Structure 1
Amino acid sequence: MRTVFGSWKYIFKNIWFLLPFAVVPAVFMSLSLDYQCVRSVWSDFFAGDPRAEFLELFHAWSFIRVDSWLGLVYSILAVISVIFFMALLLAFVEKHMRLGKRTLSGIGAQFVNNLPSVVFAVLVYLAIYEAWAVVLSAVMFAVSEISATATVYAADVIFIVIFAFVLIYLSTILYLWLPCRQMTGFRFFEAFLYSYRLMVGVRGKVLVSFAISLTALFVLLCGCAFLPAAVFYIVGVAAFALLFLNFCVRMEAVYFETDKLDREDLLRHKWEV
């Protein structure tokens, strides 16, 4: 259970140190959601009409907004802010876990070292997610052509669950690559092979952790889609802030666990704040 919930314990214990890293990415990630499409798709779905056009479905799933220039700017800023603050956060958390120090001194150099790898990882994850959104939207649109509404509901639920599993499984493949590159300095492919071997023993637990987080996010955002846009986006900011922190902290925690590295943050040090 430490693999599944250990990162949450770390987050809430150090929340005031970690939260500043998450606020800006969370704001732009939330604003990258197309509220009108999310509301339209899911209000119709729960009102007895599970059918929607392909573009409407895709915009409801996608983080790339094309409904307006401002929406597109939000999406671009979301990617940039995630890259910047993830590189900073990984440097901060790695230093705390490795040395037991919750200070900003010295993380600048590690931030610079992290940045190219984080850029690559974020763009890969974004490409995977958007491709996933395209395929899932196409499947749901094809299913909507079935005349029996009950069959459409059943097929949509089944395909969403299957596609969600595929997404979180793909997410685990590269998950430990970033901390491996960060702490070992291995080349790209060497780090991938080593981190992949480390993931094998804990993949099931990481899948469960991902599944819990994504299910909570999905239920929360679908529920808030029935509320005013301001509430939807505010709740989205809070949810994305916590999930952004959990994604990064769990990455470091699982790497320390699987590579059998000592966690100095678990000890009490006189220099800790």
Structure 2
Amino acid sequence: MDTVVKFIGSTFQYVFKNFLFIFIFALIPSYFFAMSLDTENIHVLADAVFKDGTLQFPQIFHFISFVNGHGWPYSLVCLAAMAVCLPMLLGFIEKHMRIGSRSFKGLAGRFNTNFLSTLIMTVVFFALYELWALITS
């Protein structure tokens, strides 16, 4: 039992030590994702959670949608930011796993390697999410 607690503690220490490096790549897309959300849906969602408790998963899935009336420009910027930040994040993680380095040096060189695959996956996941949100609404 002591070794399990020791490994869990060292895992949390590792995650918190390296969190800032990952957070930088997630901050810009998450900002534009938050800007793309409909504030009225957020209010309805918050009211349902804190007052009624009658909220179901399909409602959450539909409310947190990229495509809405006023937020679509932010959705496009979010997708563009994800298309730039995700390949850099994957390049950073790959470099860290291969040689243990946490520097940003040489990150642009890994961008071309990961760009096409992350762009395709981002567009596919976006389309599947919106399709499923449309089906469940």
Coarse TM-score class (shorter-chain normalised): 0.7 to 0.9
What is the match of residue 63 of structure 1? Answer: 66
- Distance change (3 Å), C-alpha of 1:41 and 1:15: closer
Instruction: Please give the alpha-carbon distance, in whole angstroms, between the structure 2 residues aligned to 1:125 and 1:7.
Output: 29
Cα RMSD, aligned residues only: 2.9
- Distance change (3 Å), C-alpha of 1:112 and 1:104: same
What is the match of residue 40 of structure 2? Answer: 36
Instruction: Please give the alpha-carbon distance, in whole angstroms, between the structure 2 residues aligned to 1:42 and 1:16.
Output: 29
Instruction: Please give the alpha-carbon distance, in whole angstroms, between the structure 1 residues aligned to 2:100 and 2:68.
Output: 41
What is the match of residue 27 of structure 1? Answer: 31
Count of residue correspondences: 126
Task: Give the deviation of 1:61 after TM superposition.
Answer: 3.1
Structure 1 runs (4+) greater than 6 angstroms displaced: none
Tell me which amino acid in the other structure corresponds to 1:103: S
Tell me which amino acid in the other structure corresponds to 2:25: F
TM-score norm. by structure 1 comes to 0.40
| Identity between Structure 1 and Structure 2 (%) | 33
Instruction: Please give the alpha-carbon distance, in whole angstroms, between the structure 1 residues aligned to 2:109 and 2:51.
Output: 53
* Contact 1:37/1:57, CA 8 A, preserved across alignment: no
- Larger RCO: 1 or 2 (CA < 8 Å, sep 6+): 1
TM-score norm. by structure 2 comes to 0.76
What is the match of residue 7 of structure 2? Answer: none
Task: Give the deviation of 1:38 after TM superposition.
Answer: 2.6
Instruction: Please give the alpha-carbon distance, in whole angstroms, between the structure 2 residues aligned to 1:88 and 1:77.
Output: 17
Which protein shows a greater Rg? Answer: 1
Task: Give the deviation of 1:62 after TM superposition.
Answer: 1.1
Instruction: Please give the alpha-carbon distance, in whole angstroms, between the structure 2 residues aligned to 1:91 and 1:10.
Output: 19
Unaligned 5+ runs, structure 1: 138-273
Q: Deviations over 1:87-138 (max 9, x none)?
A: 101001100111111122222221111111111000111111111111221x
- Distance change (3 Å), C-alpha of 1:50 and 1:19: closer
